[in-house]
A and B are shown apart, each in its own frame.
Chain A
Amino acid sequence: MEAAAGGLCGSGPPLLLSEGEQQCYSELFARCAGASGGGPGPGPPEAARAAPGATTAAAGPVADLFRASQLPAETLHQITELCGAKRVGYFGLTQFYVALKLIAAAQSGLPVRIESIKCELPLPRFMMSKTDAEIRFGNTAELHGTKVQIPYLITEKNTFKRIDDEDKQETQSPSMSPLASPPSSPPHYQRVPLSHGYSKLRSSTEQMHSAPYEARQPLVPPEGPSSGGPGAKPPRHQASLIRSFSVERELQDNSTSYPDEPWRITEEQREYYVNQFRSLQPDPSSFISGSVAKNFFTKSKLSIPELSYIWELSDADCDGALTLPEFCAAFHLIVARKNGYPLPEGLPPTLQPEYLQAAFPKPKWECALFDSYSESVPANQQPRDLNRMEKLSIKDMADFPVPTQDVTGDDKQALKSATDEALPKDMSEDSATPKDSNSLKARPRSRSYSSTSIEEAMKRGEDPPTPPPRPQKTHSRASSLDLNKVFQPSVPASKSGLLPPPPALPPRPCPSQSEQASEAEVHPQLNRAPSQAAESSPTKKEIAYSQPPSKPIRRKFRPENQATENQEPSTIVSGPAPVATVKTHPAVQKQSSKQKKAIQTAIRKNKEANAVLARLNSELQQQLKEVHQERIALENQLEQLRPVTVL
């Protein structure tokens, strides 16, 4: 078979291809020829042999392929000449095969001569560009290497440029170990497999690749095991693999728009980071405080200035806490740094929080708490026009009378995300996404109903609050909780306490009707008060709700309360307010015990913090004294040395 292929074209020397090479080359040829319409596609070698003149590989893909072999341009020219393509003017089957052989020879270090192709050569190695599916033909040594690099190379769809840093990557797995228990294992391997399949055919490294190959199977329509691979099967197999490659390529299209590959987070990495986040902070939509993050990242054994710089890069809103995207970015930077990448000057676009949310919508939410609340909301809903939404939300933020200048940027994020929902009235997908919690669905729907500016203002006032169901310590919280309970039954299957606004609104089919509007006003106002109060807790950076001391919350609540009253155009507030308080009494007692415990834990933690700070203080005082003495000594010296001047 092989000899026949070589001997077909009388012009070239007889080519001796091994079985594996045969498969490789014909697949490559098919790929290149596919671009020139009318190519045989993954036609079996027999067909190609039958009509040598008709099947030519288009120059474009061929040139790309040759460039992907990473040989110098000179060598490639030589190869092109030698293989006869220049002579005949096109890349026929034979020319192509000869060229591939020569490439393999060149890569193995042999001189580019016709004689070299007579030797037994490994497969040529190509680092494909994005335009082709990623194929890495490698010899066994390389495959061994790549297997070790699992944490990074697992989904190679994104490692186009990373391949350039192959050496660095090989050190990745050992250095990853202190930080990570890599989700290793061949079954995760999904991309290198084309070569695995072929190497299986080559029968040299069967065991190692059988596992990845099996993993590959689900992606590939079952073509039967690759063992043996008689003539008809491999081409079909090639076809299916090519198909699946292109499918995967398309899937990744929206994420391959950035050139900075080392800074892209793959799925595997993303999952790992999310798990780590969860271990530090069970609520994926909340944030990790600075001290917790510091302890965690210090374990990576990077130097403090570097960690400090990484934090600076990743904490985009400078609030001293890391949300999930920020955490992933920081983690990724740390991992990259540990593997030898220099830290970038600025946060790469693929690590920006907005990008991370859009690109990787989180699969599941553990608690419905912040579902409708945090910036995870846009991620939950399909990756949509986040930019547009954010711009709109920024505009909207100006309308907010509610103080958004709290030190914690979480407030802003909450408001932003909340207003995101207020704005996209035309985003019909809001209500369509099944993943959203009911509150999410309800709120956007309600937005779409509103047409009067008053109601819009009111709803905007509702938006920021999205309170968590945590028991609050202040009186305001008590009232809020009860109202939550009041409205909760009307909202099915929602655990969060922040649903008050949506249930109130559906009864209004047409917002222009004033009676109904006023009725609706009452509810949102009621809800606004509690929800804002509840929101004050998420504005705290602390993870545990028990942490924030009660005073700041009260302080925050009052201005918000005043703000809400300012907001309201009508005087209905006073009416519902007493009603609300009456209802709250029963709920208060239930919450008081919880609150007590919360307060006690908070007290304990504060005491510990105090102790630490006191110690720090005493140390600093000592330092201070020493430095003061030094200063006095220096000043004396100066006095002696300087001439007297009038200052």
Chain B
Amino acid sequence: MNYPLYIRSVPTENELKFHYMVHTSLDVVDEKISAMGKALVDQRELYLGLLYPTEDYKVYGYVTNSKVKFVMVVDSSNTALRDNEIRSMFRKLHNSYTDVMCNPFYNPGDRIQSRAFDGMVTSMMIQVC
């Protein structure tokens, strides 16, 4: 139910820590989704906002209508990142994900190996860091 389709971190040391943080934040995401209640599914915002802050990092969440979750972990010292930038990043992710889905050779649930997706994520992360 909650296996990763795609994980990327920049820089690459401490990668495992980020993996763990993302994994634990999934619970928070689930919580937020279920908090809306079933009746409000259509009105639910895709962007979930700041999930929870730690002393070092901020974690943002986004969920698609097909319950695919995007989680972004950002360094707390990166104060230049504003909310709408995060939103636009999630939107780009969502669009790229849609493009990946359009590929008939992609089976939903597979790890994402699309080079276009990779490229988009890399450029986005480089932009931020």
Contact = CB atoms under 8 A, between A and B. Distances in A.
Query: Do A and B form a real pair?
Result: yes
Interface of A: 290-291, 293-294, 304-305, 307-309, 311-312, 315, 318-320, 345, 620, 623-624, 627-628, 631, 638, 647
13 contacts: A291-B104, A304-B105, A305-B113, A308-B103, A311-B103, A312-B103, A320-B103, A320-B104, A620-B109, A627-B1, A627-B3, A628-B1, A647-B24
Contacts of B98: 318
A304 to B, nearest CB: 6
B104 to A, nearest CB: 3
Interface string B1-16: 1110000000000000
B34 interface: no
Given A627-B3, A631-B2, A309 B115 contact: yes
A141 B116 CA distance: 45
B114 interface: yes
Given A624-B1, A647-B54, A312 B104 contact: no
A315 B109 contact: no
Given A320-B104, A620-B109, A627-B1, 8 more contacts: A294-B104, A312-B103, A315-B102, A320-B103, A623-B109, A627-B2, A647-B24, A647-B52
A646 B79 CA distance: 23
Contacts of A345: 115
Interface in B105-124: 105-106, 109, 113-116
Nearest to B99: A318
Nearest to A624: B1
A308 B105 contact: yes
Size class of the B contact interface (CB-based, 8 Å): 20 to 34
A454 to B, nearest CB: 36
Contacts of A312: 103, 114-116
A315 B103 contact: yes
Contacts of A624: 1
B58 to A, nearest CB: 13
Most chain A beta-carbon contacts within 10 A, residue among B24, B103, B104? B104
A320 B114 CA distance: 14
A311 B99 contact: no
Nearest to A620: B109
A294 B105 contact: yes
A117 B84 CA distance: 78
B5 to A, nearest CB: 13
Nearest to B114: A312
Nearest to B100: A312
B106 A308 contact: yes
B30 to A, nearest CB: 13
A304 B105 CA distance: 7
B56 to A, nearest CB: 12
B114 A308 contact: yes
Nearest to A623: B109
A302 to B, nearest CB: 10
Contacts of A318: 98-99, 102
Contacts of B3: 627
Contacts of B2: 627, 631
